[in-house]
A and B are shown apart, each in its own frame.
Chain A
Amino acid sequence: MALFSRIREINQKFRVPHVKMTRGVKLALLLLRIYLLLLIAILFFKFFTLVAAR
């Protein structure tokens, strides 16, 4: 319980991103999200391929 309340406090403390959200920053973060989603998709594909092979 104490851990969850601490996590909530951390989320509250860092709620507002302090970096200036210029077009470049937004684009970089968007590309990063797409990259990570692709990577997760590849990992899932690998997982299901392994499961199907068994």
Chain B
Amino acid sequence: MKETPPIALRLRKSIGLVPRIYYGWRRGIKWLGIFLAVSGPGIIVMLADNDAGGITTYAATGARYGFGLLWFLVILGPVAYYVQEMTVRLGAVTKRGHAEAIFDAFGPFWGWFSLLDLILTDWLTLITEFIGMTAAFSIFHIPPFITVIAVSIVMILMVLQGRYWTWEKIAFLFCIFNLVYIPCAIIVHPSASDIVRTGLIPNFPGGFDNQMFFFLMANIGTTIAPWMVFFQQSAVVDKGINEKDVPWSKLDTAIGSGFTVLVAGFVIITTGAVLKGAPIESAAQAAIALGGINPWLGTLLAIGLFDAGFLGGICISLASSWAFGEVFGWAHSLNNKIKEAPWFYAMYVILLATAGCVVLIPGAPLVLITLFVQVIAVTLLPATLVFLILLLNDKERMGSLTNTRAQNIISVTVVALIVVLSTLYGISALFPDIFK
């Protein structure tokens, strides 16, 4: 007896080409709508990852090795994605931020360790963001105290409007400014064949010496940071992303990691094309040097540096406020008004105000603070990543979104590499001569 084909198949055969294109178009529009509604945390966290410290590292990398280490960034993109997509699943399933999830799963000892280490790391990193922003605006002859006050006011106003959605859209606007490095790279007319030949084929320009090792570790250290894990998981929860939204949220993270690599790559291309061999130690120094070659270049790089510090600042201070709110049981959503969540907003303002004030203290040990950030971040990063993997393997809680064997192999390998290299980076920050 002949079998009747399923109804869907019969319908598809009976529908003509034009209706099929029409329904395909409608489906595409629907998917785009869903993606636009879900996207945000992934793109924002990934672009904020290219913060003031990150831009400095990339500028110095380009000045030292030209395009030679571009291929390494291409590898770091997927690495950042694998770490961050785990936070998406965890947040969507548990509806808890990372700090609360650690307390709940591992008890108060690891909970307090993570929370206090996070707040210290975030506060110190926030100081470095202010250092970057004031340095960028000092190129335009704006005094640091005006920069600090103006930036703090804008950052506070951004969260006080009482809606997560509005905050996210403003953050997106600042993300667009992060792309300013693309015209920078176009202005310097880099040779496309040089980029492909020397940059995209894995190699170690000048050999694999200790200096090279230090730069590789610095690039890893700026690509994966503990605050990113805490920020994205809390943002996923605050945004109300559910298990069914996870594929879209993963796409959001993947696009974000693509942009991170793109922006970092263009910074390296810019400094690598015109400043190769110059002793560049900070992004502000690179902006001044580029300004001497072409005023537009210096201006664009300074705007980019300011934007990087600003994006990093808003995400880092929010990550801490969310974490404290979760653990202390305060209302902690950007959808809450000040009256509804006074401690959450107070925490945010205190972090910003104190970090901004440190930058303004005459003779403050800013270099020491920058060094200390690297060391403290190293104490928190392994714990954060190990907890992330353990939580993602909790079958009872994670259900169908538990890590698969393949995901575990990839994530454990990635985490082990990050832990080893970031630890060596932290040690080299403490003992600069150890790898020389």
Contacts and interface: CB of A to CB of B under 8 A. Distances in A.
Given A10-B327, A14-B103, A19 B382 contact: no
B396 interface: yes
A18 B104 contact: yes
A36 interface: yes
B383 A43 contact: no
Contacts of A43: 375, 430
A42 B329 CA distance: 36
A16 interface: yes
Contacts of A39: 378-379, 423, 426
Nearest to B396: A20
A11 B394 contact: no
A43 B288 CA distance: 36
B328 A6 contact: yes
Interface string B366-394: 00000000010011001100100011001
B108 interface: yes
Contact of A46 (B394, B419, B431): B431
Contacts of B105: 17-19
Interface in B88-130: 103-108, 110-111, 113
B255 interface: no
A27 to B, nearest CB: 11
A25 B386 CA distance: 10
Nearest to A35: B382
Interface of B is mostly: helix
A52 interface: no
Contact of B107 (A15, A35, A46): A15
Given A10-B328, A19-B391, A36 B104 contact: no
Contacts of A18: 104-105, 397
A28 interface: yes
B251 interface: no
Contact of B427 (A16, A20, A32, A42): A42
B377 to A, nearest CB: 12
B390 A25 contact: yes
Contacts of B375: 43
A46 to B, nearest CB: 5
Interface in A4-30: 6, 10-11, 14-20, 25, 28-29
B154 to A, nearest CB: 31
A20 B111 contact: no
B418 to A, nearest CB: 13
Interface in B224-257: none
Interface in B136-179: none
Contacts of A28: 386, 390
Contacts of B110: 29
A32 B383 contact: yes
A2 B222 CA distance: 38
Nearest to A45: B430
B430 A14 contact: no
Contacts of B397: 18
Nearest to B327: A10
A16 to B, nearest CB: 7
B430 A29 contact: no
Q: Which of A19, A43, A46 has the most B CB atoms < 10 Å from its CB?
A: A19
B108 A10 contact: yes
B430 A19 contact: no
A36 B110 CA distance: 12
Q: Which of A14, A15, A32, A36 has the most B CB atoms < 10 Å from its CB?
A: A14
A16 B107 contact: yes
Given A10-B328, A32-B382, A17 B430 contact: no
Interface of B: 103-108, 110-111, 113, 327-329, 375, 378-379, 382-383, 386, 390-391, 394, 396-397, 419, 423, 426-427, 430-431
Given A19-B391, A42-B430, 11 more contacts: A6-B328, A10-B103, A14-B104, A14-B107, A14-B108, A16-B107, A20-B394, A36-B113, A39-B379, A39-B426, A43-B375
- Across chains A and B, which 8 residue pairs bring their CB atoms closest together, nearest first? A19-B105, A17-B107, A14-B103, A11-B108, A46-B430, A17-B106, A14-B108, A18-B104
Interface of A: 6, 10-11, 14-20, 25, 28-29, 32, 35-36, 39, 42-43, 46
17 contacts: A10-B329, A11-B108, A14-B104, A14-B107, A18-B104, A18-B105, A18-B397, A19-B390, A19-B394, A29-B106, A29-B110, A32-B383, A36-B113, A36-B379, A39-B378, A39-B426, A46-B431
